[in-house]
Homo-oligomer: A and B are copies of this chain.
Amino acid sequence: MEPAAPPVWVVGGTGYSGLEAVRLLGRHPGFRLAHVIASPGAGERDLSGIDPLFAPGAIRSVPLSPNLLEEPPAAALLALPDDAAAGLAADLLERGVRVVDLSGAFRIREASHYPAHCGFEHPKPALLAEAVYGLSEWQRQHIASARLVANPGCYPTATLLALLPLERAGLIDPQSPVVVDGKSGATGAGRRLEAAYLFAEANENCRPYSVLDHRHAPEIAQALGFGPERPVWFAPHVLPLSRGLMTTLYLRLRRGVGGPDITAALSGSYRSSPFVRLLGEQKWPEIRGVVRTNRCDIGWTVANGAAVVVSAIDNLMKGAAGQAIQNLNLMFGREETEGLPS
Contact = CB atoms under 8 A, between A and B. Distances in A.
Interface of A: 16, 50, 52-53, 55-56, 176-177, 179, 181, 183, 185-187, 191-195, 197-209, 211-213, 231, 233, 235, 237, 239-244, 246, 248, 250, 252, 277, 279, 282, 284-289, 291-293, 297, 299, 301, 303-304, 306, 308, 310, 312
Contacts of A301: 211-213
A335 to B, nearest CB: 15
Nearest to A341: B27
A278 B332 CA distance: 39
B310 A240 contact: no
Contact of A181 (B53, B181, B198): B181
Given A181-B181, A204-B291, A303-B213, A286 B52 contact: yes
A204 B204 contact: yes
Contacts of A56: 279
Contact of A310 (B186, B192, B211): B211
Given A203-B241, A239-B239, 8 more contacts: A52-B286, A52-B288, A185-B200, A193-B193, A204-B291, A208-B310, A209-B284, A231-B306
Nearest to A307: B212
A248 B235 contact: yes
Contacts of A198: 186, 191-193, 197-199
6 contacts: A52-B286, A52-B288, A52-B297, A183-B237, A204-B291, A208-B246
A204 B16 contact: no
A301 B209 CA distance: 11
Nearest to A303: B212
A284 B200 contact: no
A50 B201 CA distance: 10
Contacts of A206: 183, 239, 241, 244, 246, 286-287, 312
A200 B187 contact: yes
Contacts of A52: 285-286, 288-289, 297
A207 B284 contact: yes
Contacts of A240: 199, 203, 239-241
A64 to B, nearest CB: 23
A211 B284 contact: yes
Contacts of A16: 200
A194 B291 CA distance: 22
Contacts of A282: 211
Nearest to A241: B204
Task: Give the 8 A-B residue pairs with the shortest CB-CB distance, closest first.
Answer: A52-B289, A199-B202, A181-B181, A186-B199, A205-B288, A212-B303, A207-B286, A206-B287
A109 to B, nearest CB: 22
Nearest to A204: B241
Nearest to A289: B52
B212 A308 contact: yes
Given A16-B200, A199-B242, A237-B183, A205 B287 contact: yes
